[in-house]
Amino acid sequence: MTMAARHQAFHDLHQQGCFVIPNPWDRGSARMMAALGAKALATSSAAHAFTIGRPDLGGVTRDEALAHAQDLIAATPLPVSGDFENGFGDSPDDVAETVRLSGEVGLSGISVEDTQMQPGNPAYAFDLAVDRIRAGAAAARALGRPFIFCARADGVMHGSYDLAEGIRRLQAFEAAGADLLYLPVPPGKAELAQILASVTKPVNALAAGPLKSSTVAELATMGVRRISTGSQIARATHAIIRDAVNAMLGEGSFAPLMATASGDEIDALLLKGSDQ
């Protein structure tokens, strides 16, 4: 698939229906996800940070995130979106520059948060938050090709503001030109329904917190357009590392290794995922 075809396919996925966009953290996980039927992939800032031995939230620089994204773009023929935290800077110009650089490396979209990369993740003031999204959306349009610019209202997740403020921000982000709207980890499905009813642009939902108990079909019926996994698959992998090593070194048991996939199966998935 050509890069132009990838970008168009990613755009088209957001126009109707509902799809799952899993978040790999290296070439191998990207190829396995592609082989298993993913239609698009997204980086995860947390999963990437874990991979290089750093904590989430501000643990990765823009140059590192862009290089990581290029690695995932090269791994499969699927479109890739970038999870780019606060856009790697506080000003609207920083966000616009991140969009421009994302376009250069071949990403089909990115998401930008409205909270700062500081302890406690305080939210940007409302007007600045909107100006940042407006600048990013303008930069996305200036690329001259399909590019899904996702605006995130992360304050509910971090406790910086309440749901009403999150919805107010999403509505303002929509008016500022965002293509996709995203409020991670609402308190539950009732609150997600409020979010969906408050905007007209497509909405991303994160399969985390209370929504992990939902099915794809349930979220699709509600009107969710895209379901991302964030760092959840990486965290599940890290849980296996924790539990397996604890069992080996603490209890002397190798029981957790009974559930491993065969090398032949993994080899086949890696090969299939590279040429989907």
- Domain range enclosing 155: 3-274
With the C-alpha atoms ordered 250, 255, 260, 264, is the resulting torsion angle positive or negative?
A: positive
205 CB contacts (<8 Å, ≥6 apart)? 182, 192, 211, 219, 224, 226, 227, 228
| CA dihedral of residues 165, 169, 172, 178 (deg, nearest 10) | -160
**Domains: count for the chain:** 1
Global pTM reads 0.95
Residue whose structure tokens are 């299939």: 272
Yes or no: say if 86 and 115 are a contact pair by the CB < 8 Å rule: yes
- Residue 82 CA, chain-centre distance (Å), reads 7
CA 246/CA 254 separation, integer angstroms: 10
Per-residue pLDDT of the chain (276 residues; tens, 9 = 90+): 899 999 999 999 999 999 999 999 999 999 999 999 999 999 999 999 999 999 887 789 999 999 999 999 999 999 999 999 999 999 999 999 999 999 999 999 999 999 999 888 999 999 999 999 999 999 999 999 999 999 999 999 999 999 999 999 999 999 999 999 999 999 999 999 999 999 999 999 999 999 999 999 999 999 999 999 999 999 999 999 999 999 999 999 999 999 899 999 999 999 999 986
The CATH number that applies at residue 224 is 3.20.20.60
Query: d(Cα 173, Cα 167) in Å, to the nearest integer?
Result: 10
Buried b (16+ CB within 10 A) or exposed e, 199-226: bebbbbbbbbeebeebeeeebbebebbb
